[in-house]
A = this chain, B = another copy of it.
């Protein structure tokens, strides 16, 4: 009896939580954290203002929940993708493609994260979650270019990272108008082909 009721309650909780997280992510991403009110979130999630506080202790806790969730998901995804590859070139190719795939599939989240990254005080409450992710990413790049026998792996990793972030930035701003797949292909060629594609 009690079990049945409990299960039902759990489901209700989960559904509401999901609705709130989704609504908040979209609004935060589009209009910014400070610029989004709990009222707006509640309206979009189709719940009452008060209910939000049943699930998240504060607006900031809600933000952290979003970031935590997305980073966890993202981390798993990329780590999986990295497992076994025949050659470092293929590996680099997948690093780029998988990352962009993840960005495409989590458009709103990346928009939010990019937006957050410019607000010092808000970022502070999320910094720890993001910092680790970044370090891991650069480390992976350096390993790759070392395997590829690049003359300066660190430098190449940084440049690749910058180019990827730039592409993501443009993609995030322009959305599907931006030729992200083409850019990815181009990027991979630039970083793996001995002859530059840029000059004839």
Contacts and interface: CB of A to CB of B under 8 A. Distances in A.
A161 to B, nearest CB: 7
Given A194-B195, A196-B196, A119 B32 contact: yes
Interface in A16-33: 30-32
Interface in A148-200: 148-152, 155-156, 158-159, 161-167, 169-170, 172-173, 179, 182-183, 186-187, 190-200
Contacts of A115: 115, 118-119
Main secondary structure of the interface of A (DSSP, over half): helix
Range class of the A interface residue count: 35 or more
Contacts of A191: 196, 198
Interface of A: 30-32, 34-35, 111, 114-115, 117-122, 145, 148-152, 155-156, 158-159, 161-167, 169-170, 172-173, 179, 182-183, 186-187, 190-200
20 contacts: A31-B120, A35-B119, A148-B199, A149-B199, A149-B200, A150-B199, A155-B182, A155-B186, A159-B163, A159-B183, A159-B190, A159-B198, A161-B170, A162-B183, A166-B167, A166-B169, A169-B169, A190-B196, A194-B199, A196-B196
